[in-house]
Amino acid sequence: FVLGDVLDSRTWKYYKDADVVYHFAALSALPVCQSHPRDAVDVNVGGLASVLEGARIHGVKRVVFASTSATYERNKEPVLSEDLDVKPTLLYSLTKQQGELLMRAYRDVYGLETVVLRFFNVYGPHQDFRRRSPPFTSYVSRELAHRRAPVLHGDGTQARDYVHVRDLMRLAMLVMTAPEADGETFNIASGKAYSVNAMYDIMAAAANATDVRPVYHEATRFWDAYPELFAGTRPIKKEILQKEVMKTTTGSHDKAERLLRWRPEVSMEEGLAELVFYVKKAIEAGKDKDAAPVAWK
């Protein structure tokens, strides 16, 4: 393991004997990116540019880039596939779209092999439940382990496509060498959308905490923790935040299945039970000392 900065060219020396580089580093929390646009662009776009340049100079054969389903932000199709136009406006998704364009440019101009993976909502063991704005699944798992009522935003009917980390890593490994993957973009999705309420019920049952019921707040309240977004003469539009929180997304994995014979294997019930167990054991081992009861991302 090497601790370094993706913007630092001194890390390029570690690419010398590498055939493939996976670039998964990013500033990813939506409100953090939106409230710190320069940092988001520097890390998410500049960081990738640095990785690509280092890979080009040191003879890396292929770069695999973690993009996001958030690039589909303004699409209204019920199932999202890789051939759709992406025209995002929020900072996080916009920087990831720019990253995809950079990947294409380095392939076209330098002949570097590239693969783009659009992650849908990833969950599973080892997901950080201690940070200020944890992902929904690890946040709820943590609160249930403490028998605290989680704070949920909206009415719980919003739904997302969740993919287990083991399924994600299987596809990530497949694209390492597959000739069919070069120059392609793949969704990493389950093909099913689960509502917040449905997922909460599964996690509560797995935690033996069905008597612990969530507290619902208005959809946009989560963003209120970032007052800089509402400062100045042009605050962020509330309707955009409402739409972002309450959206339903479902991804197609047909392309990955057709070209790479990949399909998701971990069921939601199995995956969430595994996550709940992991968080419970981590808390019992005293690994949540920094965790504050905050709302989910």
Per the listing, tokens 């419970």 go with 280
pLDDT at 295 over 90: no
Say whether both 141 and 61 belong to one domain: no
Mean pLDDT, rounded, for 58-72: 98
Q: Give the residue from 61, 90, 119 where a domain finishes.
A: 119
The boundaries of the domain holding residue 3 are 1-119
Say whether both 68 and 85 belong to one domain: yes
pLDDT (tens digit, 9 = 90+) per residue, 173-195? 999 999 999 999 999 999 999 99
Say whether both 284 and 219 belong to one domain: yes
| b/e code 167-198 from CB counts within 10 Å (16+ = b) | bbebbbebbeebeebeebbbbbbbbebbebbe
Q: In this structure, what token pair is assigned to residue 234?
A: 């042009």
Residue type at 14 in one-letter notation: Y
Per the prediction, the chain carries an average pLDDT of 94
Say whether both 89 and 42 belong to one domain: yes
| C-alpha torsion angle, residues 150, 164, 279, 242 (rounded to 10) | -20
Say whether both 84 and 135 belong to one domain: no
Q: What's the whole-model pTM score? A: 0.94
Asked whether the beta carbons of 166 and 174 are under 8 A apart, the reply is: no
pLDDT at 1 over 90: no
What does 230-263 look like in DSSP terms, one character per residue? G-SSSPPPHHHHHHHHH----B--HHHHHHH---
At residue 289, the pLDDT reads: 62
Does residue 262 lie within any of the structural domains? no
pLDDT at 294 over 60: no
Mean pLDDT, rounded, for 76-102: 97
**Number of folded domains that form the chain:** 2
pLDDT (tens digit, 9 = 90+) per residue, 128-137? 888 777 899 9
